Structure 1
Amino acid sequence: MSRKVMMSCALTGAGDTPGKNPSVPVTPKEIADSAIESAKAGATIAHIHVRDPKTGALSHDVELFRETVERIRESETDIIINLTSGGGGDWVPSDADPTRGGEGTDMQTPEERHEPIGKLLPEMCTLDCGSTNFGNMLYVGPTDWLRRQAKLVQESGVKPELECFDTGHVRFANQLIKEGLIDGDPLFQFCLGIPWGAEADAETLAYMKSRIPENSRWASFGIGRMQMPMVAESVLQGGHIRVGLEDNMYLKKGQLATNEQLVDKAAGIVETLGADLMTPAEARKELNLLDPYAKRG
């Protein structure tokens, strides 16, 4: 029997990408439609950020999350919904006064970052596990803030995906588990190749997966040109995968992609390597997820 692989599709992300690829979805309808098409192409999980429909910029508006989620669920398309809880964590030091945030700074408290999760109760949400240099910007995730976020996620009953952009993030994720802030079998996502986090290569992936608890599930992704090579490497090393326009805008050199094209290409890699894609129903059982249609208080 072949192994089953979960595939996440990160639909739109937070970066300044809509002007670079017109297929990056912006409005709730576009994001929902992209999730639906990605599900048809084989995606198990839709990872969702939202954007201001007028400007295309990152938004934290809970109502935009709500509309996107409702459109997906009302379509009766079976795909697991995984909302970001990264929220506002971007810090760009001001040239005039480096003690203050300059243009591009966007900060939220742990409670504000959790708001879409607490109000909409998706099946899954991301939980970043540390601060990271993103190019010349800093993503700010102090450990006490992350503990507060982890507790809020735990109380909501939503499954956290522990996003690790560097090896120290794996250490802190393990600390959250040790402190009882992560329920059930942990789910790790190794986020590789972002300047200046962990490298997107086989050796780094092997090291990171060697440091997690035995009862963990894990996935990884690479950005840009390393997206598809890391799909193959993750499958070969026994993990799950992520693709999508959040991480990479090209199907191949010079050819812009859609989300469903990236999903379809990754599905071909999975099948070529002798594995099968896991259905959302199978993944819910594997991850012990909440029923998205059950009434909860």
Structure 2
Amino acid sequence: MRKKVIVTSAVTGAGDTTKKSSHVPITPKEIAIAAIESAKAGATIAHIHVRDPKTGALSHDPQLFREVVERVRESDTDVILNITAGGGGDWIPSQENPAVGGPGTDIQTPEERHEPVATLLPEICTLDCGSLNFGDQLYISPTDWLRKQARLIQQSGVKPELECFDTGHLRFAKQLMDEGLIDGDPMFQFCLGIPWGADADAETILYMRDKLPKNAHWSAFGIGRYQMPIAIQTMLLGGNVRVGLEDNLYLDKGVFATNSQLVDKVVTFMDGLGTKPMTPQEARIHLKLNNPHGKAE
């Protein structure tokens, strides 16, 4: 187990969770406050999606990302920003004609997915490394699109976090490395417990960890009730952790959480294990991040 661990707070996500908990931030101001409060609780990184301020639904609007980023950067709290570049990838076949997308389908090109990253130059952005049966819909991220998107991220100087929802995604992420599309030491995120991706258990973490390149940084998260058990298991196995309302709404059974409470809870576990969160500035050095807009401590 490492002496210091990178803690990511995924503060809002894209799921239909705003009707389930009033603590899920919706507006850019609320999302920025959640990121700042998470950082004050011990988070190293804030992972950012944006939502339509009127409906709470997923949004891809670059201006909403801009407002979140500017509010965080203008604050007195340092935190590394990790902007989603997963974009529109939801495919739900039409009942009348399964060859076309039905209601709920939301597809963006690689260029559209990359637009907030190109505009705002965060220190990190995500790259979802493959398609997946995601619950009752399909998340689409074809290999040619991923190559194009990886090249765009590379040209921007932003570090990609390679999101692996299943073992094949890990294989393709390494293929991107072999093709010279990932610079420096790669940064992997194991996304566990999502129907119907990789299981949220120790065996899966071990399998995926042991398939990593030797110079890789890695993290893992589990959804729902698996969030804290996976965080603890990941730390014991030498990885970094992610918590937050994107993945889990509850602090305890029947008790809704805030993002900062989830960060505080995992930091408390870390204290018991003899480790502590890495600061944003320590993580910048550790991950060798470009830092066009980050604030030094």
Q: Counterpart in 2 of 1:283?
A: 283
Give CA deviations for 1:201-249 in whole Å, capped at 9, x if unaligned: 0000000011110000000000000000001000000000000000000
Secondary structure at 1:113 match in 2: helix
Alignment of 1:1-297 (within 5 A): 3-293=3-293
SS in 2 for 1:227: helix
User: Is the partner of 1:180 in helix, strand or coil?
Assistant: coil
1:276 deviates by 1.3
Displacement of 1:2 in angstroms is 6.1
Inter-partner Cα distance in structure 1 for 2:179 and 2:268: 40
TM-score by length of 1: 0.98
SS in 2 for 1:127: strand
Q: Stretches of 4+ moved more than 6 A in 1?
A: none
Give the whole-Å Cα distance in 1 for the aligned partners of 2:59 and 2:107: 12
Q: Distance in 2 between matches of 1:100 and 1:37?
A: 42
Q: How big is each residue's C-alpha offset from its partner over 1:102-124, in whole Å with a ceiling of 9 and x where there is no partner? A: 11100000000000000100000
- What SS is found at the alignment partner of 1:292? coil
Q: Secondary structure at the match of 1:229?
A: helix
Report if the CA contact (8 A) 1:231-1:269 is conserved: no
Encode CA deviations 1:166-222: one digit per residue, 9 max, x unaligned. 000000000000100000000000000000000000000000011110000000000
Q: How far apart, in 1, do the equivalents of 2:101 and 2:235 lie?
A: 41
Task: Calculate percent identity across the aligned residue pairs.
Answer: 68
Q: Distance in 2 between matches of 1:46 and 1:2?
A: 21
Q: Structure 1 counterpart of 2:77, which letter?
A: T
Please give the root-mean-square deviation of Cα atoms over the aligned residues, in Å.
1.0
Give 1:79 shift. Answer: 0.2
Q: Structure 1 regions of 5+ residues with no counterpart? A: none
Equivalents in 1 of 2:262, 2:4: separation in Å?
Answer: 19
CA distance in 2, matches of 1:258, 1:249: 8
Tell me, in whole angstroms, the C-alpha distance in 2 between the residues paired with 1:64 and 1:293.
18
Tell me the alpha carbon deviations over residues 272-295 of structure 1, each in whole angstroms, 9 at most, x when there is no partner: 11111100000000011112338x
Please report how far the alpha carbon of residue 76 of structure 1 lies from its aligned counterpart in structure 2 after TM superposition. Answer: 2.3
CA contact (8 A) 2:48 2:83 kept: yes
Q: Provide, for residues 9-29 of structure 1, a one-character-per-residue CA deviation record: whole Å limited to 9, x for no partner.
A: 001000010110000000000
* Count of residue pairs brought into register by the alignment: 294
